[in-house]
Amino acid sequence: MSGRAEAEGQPNKRTLRRGLLAVRSGLTADDTRKAAALLAEHALELTELAAARTVAAYVSVGSEPGTRVLLDALHARGTRVLLPVLLPDNDLDWAAYEGEGSLVRVRHRGKIELLEPSGARLGPEAVLAADAVLLPGLAVDERGTRLGRGGGSYDRVLARLALSGADPALVVLLYDSEVVARVPAEVHDLPVHAVVTPSGVRRFR
């Protein structure tokens, strides 16, 4: 994609992000709790997660589609779950999830407070061992193009996976309204394989 096209596409992404975040901000605690239970139910039915020995995931915060129920269910059935640790340059380190008590609250400068694993750091390359990667996002379109928050952390993760030749299942967790017709795409964007929402699973070719 040309520099001009990138410049033209960015305002579209910013506008889309603002609208999606505004909708999320209107959700109640009950809305997010119910959605989290349904997301876990549908995600646990995914063949890719059932067969996975290691899953790279994340801890949801605020009004994000909830992951805590899913993390505990994966951990309980013996799946090795890796969770991210945000580094100063916005890259991600990883550590194993050992249950709810293993999470600590961390406030990074200029960012929202995150819940991160307290265990030994395994390095940014640890994600290469994942059989499935659960991705945060704000939207996905009919091509499987994911819209992130714009921080670039998961762009680095996906680039690292592609460069290594690793081929885990890529799954994004969203609300139903966040599956949209089209997300502005750039050349480095990798499509996800599936989206899980409270109403079910959709796979992409």
- For residue 37, the domain's CATH number is 3.40.50.10420
Residue 190: the pLDDT is: 83
The pTM of the full predicted model, rounded to 2 decimals, is 0.90
β 194-197/146-147 pair status: unpaired
What's residue 3's pLDDT? 38
Domain total of the chain: 1
Q: Which residues of the chain have pLDDT under 70?
A: 1-11
Q: Helix 68-76 to helix 29-43 angle, to the nearest 10 degrees?
A: 30
Range of the domain at 189: 3-203
Which tens digits make up the pLDDT trace of 80-124? Answer: 999 999 999 999 999 999 998 899 999 887 777 899 999 999 999
